[in-house]
Every structure is written in C-alpha cells, then in structure tokens.
Structure 1
Amino acid sequence: MSGRLFIVSGPSGAGKSSLCAALLERCPQLQLSISCTTRSPRPGEENGREYHFLSTSEFKVQCDAEGFLEWANVHGNMYGTRQSDVEAIMQAGRDVLLEIDWQGAAQVAKKIPSAIRVFILPPSLEALRNRLTSRGQDDMAIIERRIAAAEEEMEHAPEAQFQVVNDDFDLSLQRLQEIFQD
C-alpha cells in the first residue's frame, strides 16, 4: 500500500516549521521529505537534516535531469524536492510530509493530484513581522522583503484544501493533526 502525501506551506515566519516538527513527533508514521536548497545553512542547521545544501551548479544539474518533483526560486535561493526521495517513502507505505512554499505546492499538486495541501497563515502581518524579528536570523532588509512576499503568498492560501491560522500553537497543531488523521 502506498503512503499519502501531505504538503504544508505558508509564508516565512507563519510557524509551519515548528508545527511540522511537532506534528512529526506526534505522528511516527509520518516522514518528512528533506528538501534541497542553494541557500547557506542557518545557525544550528546540518546538511541532510534540515535541508540538503547544494551549490547552484549541483542544483541545476539535478533540475536539468528532471530529478525534482518541484522546485522554485524563493527570496533569491533555489529550493526543490527530489522526486526519488518522496516516491521511496510512499512506496514503503509511509505518509510523506512536504514543507514547501506555495509555488512548489502548486507544482506537486499538478503531478500528484491526491496530495493534501495545508496552508499555515499568521494571525496578521504585524504578528509575522514580530516573529521574523524575534528569530534574530535575518537583517531588517531581508525581513521587510519577506513581509512583502508574505502578502503575495497569502493570496494563494485558498488553493490549499485546508487553511490553519496559527494564532495559538497548540490549537493549530491539534487542527493539523486532525487533518493528517482524517
């Protein structure tokens, strides 16, 4: 029996990474697909754990070989999901979680229409700005660019079957778990 594919997307700072990490702890039958990226690792990130960190040339080689289920340029960096990684997990009968941007979610949904899409929304743009600032990972120019991008990204929330407003982490996690267990 083949596993199911779940896609969680939303703007940077909406809480999707924290929600997905907590969901993975609660649902051992769910496995995260590790995406590839050309961006530099953030403090504490390890190659193969949070992402497969690739050079731009390595990414392009895999892209040209049609090795990605989806890929996109996000904030000047390339991100992609290897099709072979997802297929191997699903063929093993496990459910797969993709934590990707809305562009990638749309690409995957075209290739795998049975994918279940969830869009995580912040309670407001001001709350999003506060979250991004409190991370202490990016300078203000990057944060403002992410806020501007978030406004556009949030317009794509209705493309997902489910939208979760992350104004209360525990309630949002409960809702995400309910979606997964349906």
Structure 2
Amino acid sequence: MKNQEIHLPTPNPEHPYGGGNGRYRFPDINGMNLLGDNISLPPIVPKSFHIMLTVFHPETLYGMKKWLPFCEDLRKQYKHTPTPVEYSILLVLQPPPIEGDVPAFTQALGDFPDFYMKTNSLISYYDQSFVRRRLSLHKKAETAIVLLDGNGNIIWKDDGGFTASRAEHLKVILETLSPLAPRTRTH
C-alpha cells in the first residue's frame, strides 16, 4: 500500500457549506446518546481525528456494525499518540420521526455491550436531505463513513458498507496525516 494514491476532497471556498478555511465541515448535530445524555457532534477536539459512521435508516445500522471492530482497533492504536482517533455512530432520522424507527435503532444499538459505543451513539431528528447535501452524498445514500479533523472538517468520506479496501484506504489516510502514526509490526 506504500504507493497507493490518496484522494482527499478538494477544498472549495465558494461551496455554500465550506468552512472558513475552504474545507467542508460536518454539520453540528445535537441529540441523545443511549445513556440518555445530550451530546453534540462533531466533537471539537483539536489535534485528533474522528470517524463518524452516519446512518439514515435504522435497518442499515446492522451493516454499519461491521465497521466497529476496525474503528475500535484504530482507537486503541492511536490512543497514546499526539493525534488520537475516536469514532461515533450517528442515526439521522427524518423529522417527523416515522413510527418504529426509534425502537428499531435503539434495539440495534442496545446490542452494543460496549460503554464507549453507548456514550458515542447519537439519535438525531434532523433533515436528512440537508445532511446528505452537506456530505455531498447521493440523495438516497443510506450510510456514510466520514473522517473528520479535530475541528469537524471533513478529510475523507465514502458511502456504503464495510469492505476491506475501504478500511485499508482509511487506515492509509490516517497514517499519512498523523505525524506519529502507529506502525503495525510484521512478523
């Protein structure tokens, strides 16, 4: 993977959702986590990276769960580096909520035994089309994997389920961007 080409979004200062520095910014979203606490995403933690697993339909959450072991491994690898990596799951429900959506999502998220994920999973009633536009997604996209810098700017994004190639691409991007990225040992 050493010679793999990395494609980061091209900043466009004229874009209506661009930040002051010309990068696209993830929308500020408030909601409640599975512990009943109000939280806001994206977290603003300078000198860090954040992987946002964004879901637009509760049924697709089960497919997004395949990202969790990969994201948890990254979180552990980068935990003691100058640029730690965190991750969250965000479900964006179209307001008004469709009856049955919330129970399906909370049941799916309830399967997470991990306190970290219960703290970092957010249900939000937000305009789905706005979030899709903000992420430059197809209007029917059901999922998005988004890498953010510590200020909430979008560094990389993709939509679709977990694949080894998507995961490897994200890993290579993190290794490229992090000044002291952990290197995996080969035996």
Same fold per superposition (TM over 0.5): no
Query: TM class by shorter-chain length?
Result: 0.3 to 0.5
TM-score (norm 1): 0.33
Higher helix fraction (1 or 2): 1
User: Which fold has the larger relative contact order, with Cα–Cα distance below 8 Å and residues 6 or more apart in sequence?
Assistant: 1
